[in-house]
Each structure stands twice: as structure tokens, then as C-alpha cells.
Amino acid sequence: MVVLMEKDMTKGSPMRLILGFAVPLLFGLLFQQFYSMVDTIIVGHYLGVDALAAVGATGSVNFMIIGFCMGVCNGFAIPIAQEFGAGHDDNLRRFVGNCVRLSVVFAVAMTVLVVLLCRPILQLMRTPENIIDASYAYIVIIFIGIPVTFLYNMTAAIIRSLGDSRTPVIFLMVSAVMNIFLDLLCIIVLHMGVSGAAVATVVSQAVAGVSCLIYMKKYAILKLERDHWRWDRGYALKLCNMGIPMGLQYSITAIGSVVLQSAVNGIGSDAVAAVTAGSKLSMLMACPIDAMGSTMATYGGQNMGAGDLERVGKGLKSCTILGLLYSFFAMAVVFLAGRQLLMLFLDAGEGAVLEDAFFYIRRNVIFYFPLAMVNIVRFLIQGMGFSRLAVFAGAFEMLARGLAGFVLVPLFGFTAVCFANPLAWIFADLFLIPAFFFVRKKAGSKLSGFAI
């Protein structure tokens, strides 16, 4: 007998609900990082520093494109969460049907476009000549797998919108284990180089996506009739109004990362390798913060659908406390064991690269609470239905990283690279925190029946 895990987040203790939703989601994010981490560990140890730098040099453009896909899918799920919170099952099913159709269109169009532009983008980013071919071999396969990215993120987002954050994690755990074996097979046995790491990632994510798709059929609330699959301009526009701004938020943020990556590439492949290793550890340490953000999107969506702004504010307070506590914990871990953790990605013999990576991660982790506020507030605003406004936070991050890449890195070198992300998080918070109070006022007017 299959036990379905729908969860109504409009009733009960906000702190308990947020923790109950975020913890399984955290494991999912950890396993997503596990994909990338295993690639990096195997590439770094078996193929060398240049291969590690080649994969790392694609990080920002990868985030720009794949982040857009993830943002769109998460945005598509917001109206579904709102209809679930409101108890409007028929509208929910129509949103799901149109969500699937839109996802297919987006996936095909994006795959064709980015595969054609892949090498020119790497050239514009000043990717070092000694690694550009390997970078292209890796990232073009990742981009060919964009339909798979849409499949997993769309199905997982729909399941999470119903309050079930556990099921996508289970499937991701299975695919993560598969990813390890495929990495070892493709890189060590089949000698496919960095291309093997990309193939392993795409195949593994395909397994997770198909598993989520099959599981969705078990939800009675997701039993769609022919009428629910019908294209509806109104539903499609609302989905796009939520999804595209969330996707653009990731991409706009990533433009700044592309500028910064170009500046790092100009320093040399050792700097690229150090930032790659430091970024991998930083992303791993930031998984609980990412889980809090995604939790607040569903929490905000369901409670906005239920028309309960008071619970929205209580949820924000509870999650902020969690973010502050975790920030101190992460700082302690990195300062005490960061060098040892970085040796997952780098050999002890790469002393200079290891020290630069340790310098990088320490400067980032000090500012994890501003990062926590970026994720918590931004996703809450999006869950409340104000995705367009949240895009401006991405613009502030872009400006900060662009400033670092164009001005600070040429002046201060690697040290400026280490402070670029913290600068971006602070810039975003300066916009987001006042924006939340604006959104709460607008939402209150909307729920009271006044025009916005």
C-alpha cells in the first residue's frame, strides 16, 4: 500500500511545519549537490586539475541556463500550491495540465537554442585555451539533457506543491547512487573524460524524473481528465507570469556570475580550480538555506491561497530564526574542518590551490545569514504570487557580481573574487526586505477585495 504525503501547511505550528517540510527537502538538495560533488571528486582525482578547472569554468553558464529551467518549474508550481491551499481541485488539475504542456515547449526551445550558442558563450567568457575543449565537451551534454532537467524539476515541484517534500528525495537518492556508478564506469572504465561525468549526470536525473512522473499518477487529486489537458490561455498566462520571472531571476543573477567567472578565468586555471572547489563546498554547506527558501515558496503559496497573511508573517519569523542558527553552525564547521572537506575535491599535493579554496570558502560562510534572508524572503514573496517583483533581487545580485568582475577583480585579484558573492547577497537583501513589507500590504489589499 502506497502512503501519499500530501501536507496542508495552512494549519498547525509554522515552525513545526517548516521543519517537517524542509528536512526532507534538504536531503533532496544534498543529493542534487551529490550529483555535482561526485563529478567534481572523480574528475579532480582521476583526470587532474585542468579537467577540474574545465568543469568549473562552466559553472556560471550552467547555473544561468539550468537555473532558468529550475526557476520556471518552481514558478509553475506556485499556482498549483495556491489552488491546493484554497481547496480548488478542478482548477489545480487544469493548472497541472497546462504546466506539462508549457514545460514541453520550454524544454525543446531552450535545448535547441543553448546547444547552438554553447561554444560562443564559452569563448566570450574568456575560458582558457588549455581547458575550453573539455569545458565544451562537458557542458554541451548537460544542455542536451535540458528536457530531462525539466522533467524532474516539473514533476518534483508539482509533488512538493501538495506538501510532499519526501517523495522526490527518495527518487533522487536512487539516482544519486546510480550517478556514482555511472561516473566510475564512464570516466575510469570507458575513459570518456569529462564527457562521461556529464553523461552520468543526465542519465541519473532522467531516472529521477521518470520515477516522479510515474508516482504522480498515484495522487487522486492529480487524476486529469481530457478537459484538464485542454490548452487554456488564462491558465497558461498565469503559469508564465509565475514561472518566467522565477526563471529570469536565476538567469539575471547568473549573468553577474558569468561576468565574475570571466574575471576568474582571466586570472588562470589554478584560480578557476580553487573557486570551483570552494564553490562546490559552499553550495553543499548552503543546502539547508536553499531548503528553507523552497519551503517558504510552498508555505507562502498555500497560506496565500487560504487568505491567511498572519500565518505568512509567523512563518517568516520562524524561518528567519532557523536561518540565523544554521549560519552560525555552518561558520563553525567551515572554520574548523573546511580544509579537510576541500580535500574531497583536491589532492593534498595541490597546496596553493587548496589554500586559495579555503580562503574563498571562509569569506563566503561568514555571510551566510544574509544569504539565508535572500532565499527565505525571495521565495516567500514568490509563493505569495509576486514573482515579478522578486526578479529585481536577481538584478541587484547581478549588479554586485558585475561590479566585482569588471572593477574589483582587476584591482584586487583573487581576494575580490572571494567577496563577490557576499556583496551580491547584501545587495539583494537591501531590496528584498523592504519589498516584503510592500508585498504584504498589497496582498492585504487584494484579500480585502480592493484593487491593487
Contact 312, 380 (CB under 8 A): yes
pTM: 0.71
Say which residue, 374 or 254, is predicted with more confidence.
374
Q: How confident is the model at residue 367 (pLDDT cuts 50, 70, 90)?
A: very high
Q: Give me the pLDDT at residue 129, please.
A: 81
Q: Give me the pLDDT at residue 13, please.
A: 85
As a whole-number percent, the residues of the chain with pLDDT over 70 amount to 94
With 50 as the cut, is the pLDDT of residue 450 above it?
no
With 80 as the cut, is the pLDDT of residue 28 above it?
no
Q: Give me the pLDDT at residue 145, please.
A: 93
What lies within 8 Å, CB to CB, of 304 at 6+ separation is: 82, 85, 312, 383, 384, 385, 443
Q: How confident is the model at residue 103 (pLDDT cuts 50, 70, 90)?
A: very high
CA dihedral 177, 180, 183, 189 (to 10 degrees): -110
Distance CA 408, CA 363 (A): 16
> Whose grid coordinates read 568549473?
56
Using CA atoms, how far residue 227 sits from 88, 93, 101, 217, in Å, is 16, 10, 13, 17
Interval 412-449: pLDDT, tens: 888 888 899 899 999 999 999 999 988 888 877 766 65
Comparing CA positions, the residue from 155, 20, 4, 6 lying closest to residue 85 is: 6
| Helix (H) or strand (E) segment spanning residue 177 | helix 167-183
CA dihedral 12, 13, 16, 19 (to 10 degrees): 90
Query: Residues 378-384: what's their mean pLDDT?
Result: 86
Q: Give me the pLDDT at residue 1, please.
A: 35
Using CA atoms, how far residue 279 sits from 105, 283, 388, in Å, is 32, 6, 28
Distance CA 257, CA 262 (A): 8
Query: Residues 253-281: what's their mean pLDDT?
Result: 78
Contact 95, 235 (CB under 8 A): yes
Q: Helix 287-305 crosses helix 368-383 at what angle (to 10 degrees)?
A: 30
Contact 211, 171 (CB under 8 A): yes
Q: Three-state DSSP class for 424?
A: helix
Q: Three-state DSSP class for 373?
A: helix
Interval 162-197: pLDDT, tens: 878 788 888 888 888 888 889 889 888 888 888 888
* Least confident stretch, 15-29, 38-52, 82-96, 98-112: 38-52
Say which residue, 200 or 344, is predicted with more confidence.
200
Comparing CA positions, the residue from 15, 25, 17 lying closest to residue 291 is: 25
Say which residue, 355 or 385, is predicted with more confidence.
355
Interval 130-167: pLDDT, tens: 888 888 999 999 999 999 999 999 999 888 888 787 88
Query: Residues 50-57: what's their mean pLDDT?
Result: 78
Q: How confident is the model at residue 7 (pLDDT cuts 50, 70, 90)?
A: low
- Domain locations in the chain? 14-447
Using CA atoms, how far residue 7 sits from 90, 288, 298, 306, in Å, is 18, 20, 10, 14
Using CA atoms, how far residue 179 sits from 46, 57, 119, 182, 191, in Å, is 16, 21, 26, 5, 16
Q: Give me the pLDDT at residue 6, please.
A: 58
With 60 as the cut, is the pLDDT of residue 4 above it?
no
- Mean of the per-residue pLDDT values of the chain: 84
* Least confident stretch, 204-213, 371-380, 384-393: 384-393
